[in-house]
């Protein structure tokens, strides 16, 4: 199933081909510059910048969505653990001012020192992190979308 509606992620218009999951208050999109295979984002449908701006229903739906999505990306990308990260505000590393959860499959030894994952999360504009092609992102979203037949966008 292709999700027809596109959404904004902060200032970025997200193409429907990048979106693989939809719930009442949240959507899931593949990452333009993932720091690990299967690094995806779970985004509040309502475009607010800060976590405190979400209602209890939105918080609940966002995290339940992250739980569903985490289960799928951990399995599909052969992880053994997950990093589930919210950078809430610019001084916490947030670069896109729209509430989102990073869900990142983890494996033993993937980062030499575990907390270095945060250094990499914060190197969004680093030259080493080339944006992926629309085709690559669409292929990943197609694969993930198959796991969510109840999508609601
Ligand atoms: P943060 O720095 O916590 O706000 O995270 C922003 C995330 O959004 C990073 O993982 C970026 O790679 C990702 N990102 C930025 N623009 C896009 C986009 N147009 N589509 C998908 N992911 C994006």
Instruction: Cite the active site residues.
Output: 100
User: How many Å lie between the centroid of ligand 1 and the Cα of residue 14?
Assistant: 11
Q: Is 102 annotated as a binding residue?
A: yes
37 Cβ partners below 8 Å, 6+ apart? 77, 105
Q: What is the pLDDT of residues 104-152, one digit of tens each?
A: 999 999 999 998 999 999 887 766 678 999 999 999 999 999 999 887 6
The whole-angstrom separation of Cα 100 and Cα 116 is 20
**Domain 29-135 adopts which CATH fold?**
HIT family, subunit A (3.30.428)
Write out pLDDT tens, residues 27-59. 999 999 999 999 999 999 999 999 999 999 999
131, with CB counted inside 10 A (0-12, 13-18, 19+), is: exposed
- The domain spans of the chain are 29-135
Across 77-85, average pLDDT: 97
pTM of the model: 0.94
CA–centroid distance, residue 86 to ligand 1 (Å):
12
The yes-or-no verdict on residue 2 having pLDDT over 50 is no
């Amino acid at each position: 199933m292709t999700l027809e509606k596109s959404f904004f992620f902060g200032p970025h218009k997200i193409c429907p081909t990048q979106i693989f999951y939809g719930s009442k208050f949240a959507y899931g999109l593949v990452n333009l510059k993932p720091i690990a295979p299967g690094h995806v984002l779970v985004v509040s449908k309502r475009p607010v910048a800060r976590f405190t701006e979400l209602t209890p229903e939105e918080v609940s739906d966002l995290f339940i969505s992250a739980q569903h999505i985490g289960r799928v990306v951990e399995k599909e990308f052969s992880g053994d653990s997950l990093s589930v990260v919210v950078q809430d505000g610019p001084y916490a590393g947030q670069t896109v001012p729209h509430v989102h959860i990073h869900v990142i499959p983890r494996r033993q030894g993937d980062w030499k020192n575990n907390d270095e994952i945060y250094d990499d999360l914060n190197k969004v504009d680093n030259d080493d992190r080339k944006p992926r092609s629309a085709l690559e992102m669409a292929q990943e979203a197609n694969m993930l979308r198959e796991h969510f037949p109840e999508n609601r966008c």
